[in-house]
Amino acid sequence: MTKQHRQTNVSRRNLLKLSAGAISAGVLTAGLGSNLVAPEKASAQDKKDITPDDALKALLDGNDRFVKAKKRNPNQSQSRLREVAKGQNPFASILGCADSRVPSEIVFDQGLGDLFVCRVAGNIATKEETGSLEFGSLVLGSKLILVLGHERCGAVDATIKGASVPGEIGSLLEAIKPGVERSQGQAGDKLENACKANILVQIEKLKSSPVLSELIKADKLKIVGGYYDLDTGKVSLVS
């Protein structure tokens, strides 16, 4: 570990001790380098120095490989396992649906230590998911949050239909309702419109986090939306 990396880790530990109110752009930028490193060439340690746009490109490039059946399955070796056992610097975070057909590391062709992933039915930004994503970016240095919705999402469909559901399932539908309401009256496929509107609503919820908005202001983070096509495996940006 280099001296610079040690300092960065110390800075991140100190950040953990700060209350949200004490966080300023100046504090957030302390110790975080801005060297531009191409994601393809970056080592695990270097990945924390890429820009939000680099992180987005790395994700979309990985998805392109997946769609074209040209996956490289990077960072899945035993040596990578040992490398990331010492610490993690995921370059991007995903807020995705729990749907078994949309596993983040596979559809973006990434490996161990690359992605900080929160998955919950309907890809909703609950307090717990938001807190996890705050941790992922503020402490672990993830430069991008991609809210990933998908085609024919069952949770969104159940919300549209006003389904009567047992247990805690209703809490998911409550969180998806604003997206469904926003999409009403739009031309085209009702379910697709609602899935895409839900992505935008969840992005807005994340951006209302003071921790995340400070990181965005300091150019240390971007939050974008993606829509996954179940038939082709392609992720299209929706924001």
- Rule CB under 5 A: which residues touch Zn ion? 97, 99, 153
What residue spans of the chain are helical by DSSP H?
3-17, 25-29, 52-67, 78-85, 104-107, 127-138, 154-160, 169-183, 190-207, 210-217
- Tokens 């752009």 — which residue? 25
Residue 59 Cβ vs Zn ion, minimum distance, rounded to whole Å: 19
Residue 210 Cβ vs Zn ion, minimum distance, rounded to whole Å: 28
In this structure, what is the dihedral angle of CA atoms 162, 160, 148, 65, given to the nearest 10 degrees? 120
Give the separation between CA 195 and CA 218, rounded to whole angstroms.
Answer: 30
| Closest CB to Zn ion among residues 99, 114 | 99
| Closest CB to Zn ion among residues 2, 100 | 100
| Closest CB to Zn ion among residues 71, 152 | 152
Please name the residues in contact with 90: beta carbons below 8 A apart, sequence gap of 6 or more: 47, 113, 114, 115, 116, 136, 140, 141, 142
Residue 141 Cβ vs Zn ion, minimum distance, rounded to whole Å: 28
Residue 154 Cβ vs Zn ion, minimum distance, rounded to whole Å: 6
Structure tokens at 223: 């939050």
| Closest CB to Zn ion among residues 99, 214 | 99
Residue 90 Cβ vs Zn ion, minimum distance, rounded to whole Å: 22
| Closest CB to Zn ion among residues 99, 109 | 99
Q: How many residues does the chain have?
A: 239
